[in-house]
């Protein structure tokens, strides 16, 4: 896990230095509301382990870890009332629009306002 910057915003949320509006937490995952929501519901899901981006998560996490992470996303979407549908976004690396270099998935719901 070279090059991971332990001072990034989500690392600071994980270590308690920055507060978040928590939606869900288990032993390996934290989900919280995005501070600048792009839809009525905008939740971020992060693994607790320090993966920089989606590429590193895919190449270094175990198959079980990856599977568990993505399964939890659907459970979290149901928990926030998006059982009828939602959009997932992963911005991977700088040219993919990633701004915070701790891997995360965006859940966006009630998208009528986006279109
Ligand atoms: P990305 O462009 O995929 O790296 O997305 C980073 C997201 O983190 C953006 O949607 C920001 O609004 C969100 N964000 C930044 N700081 C915080 C914070 N302290 N708490 C919650 N969300 C944040």
What confidence score (pLDDT) does residue 111 get? 64
Exposure string of 76-93, with b = 16+ CB inside 10 Å and e = fewer, is bbeebebeeebeeeebee
Instruction: Report the separation in Å between the CA atom of 67 and the middle of ligand 1, taken as the mean of its atom positions.
Output: 23
pTM score, two decimals? 0.95
Cβ of residue 12 lying under 6 Å from some atom of ligand 1: no
- Residue 41 · residue 108 · CB < 8 Å: yes
Q: Ligand 1 within 6 A of 92 CB?
A: no
Q: Which atom of ligand 1 is nearest to the CA of 89?
A: 3
Rounded to a whole number, what is the largest CA-CA distance in the chain? 40
- Report strand pairing: 41-47 vs 29-33: antiparallel
Interval 40-84: pLDDT, tens: 999 999 999 999 999 999 999 999 999 999 999 999 999 999 989
Based on the residue annotation, tell me whether 104 is a catalytic residue of this protein. yes
Q: What is the pLDDT of residues 1-49, one digit of tens each?
A: 469 999 999 999 999 999 999 999 999 999 999 999 999 999 999 999 9
Q: How confident is the model at residue 114 (pLDDT cuts 50, 70, 90)?
A: very low
């Amino acid at each position: 896990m070279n090059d991971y910057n332990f001072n990034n915003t989500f690392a600071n949320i994980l270590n308690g230095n920055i507060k978040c509006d928590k939606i869900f937490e288990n032993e390996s995952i934290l989900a919280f509301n995005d501070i600048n929501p792009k839809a009525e519901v905008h939740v971020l899901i992060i693994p607790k382990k320090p993966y920089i981006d989606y590429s590193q998560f895919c190449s270094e996490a175990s198959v079980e870890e990856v599977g568990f992470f993505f399964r939890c996303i659907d459970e979290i979407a149901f928990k926030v009332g998006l059982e009828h549908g939602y959009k997932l976004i992963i911005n991977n690396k700088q040219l993919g629009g990633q701004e915070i270099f701790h891997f995360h998935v965006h859940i966006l719901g009630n998208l009528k306002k986006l279109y």
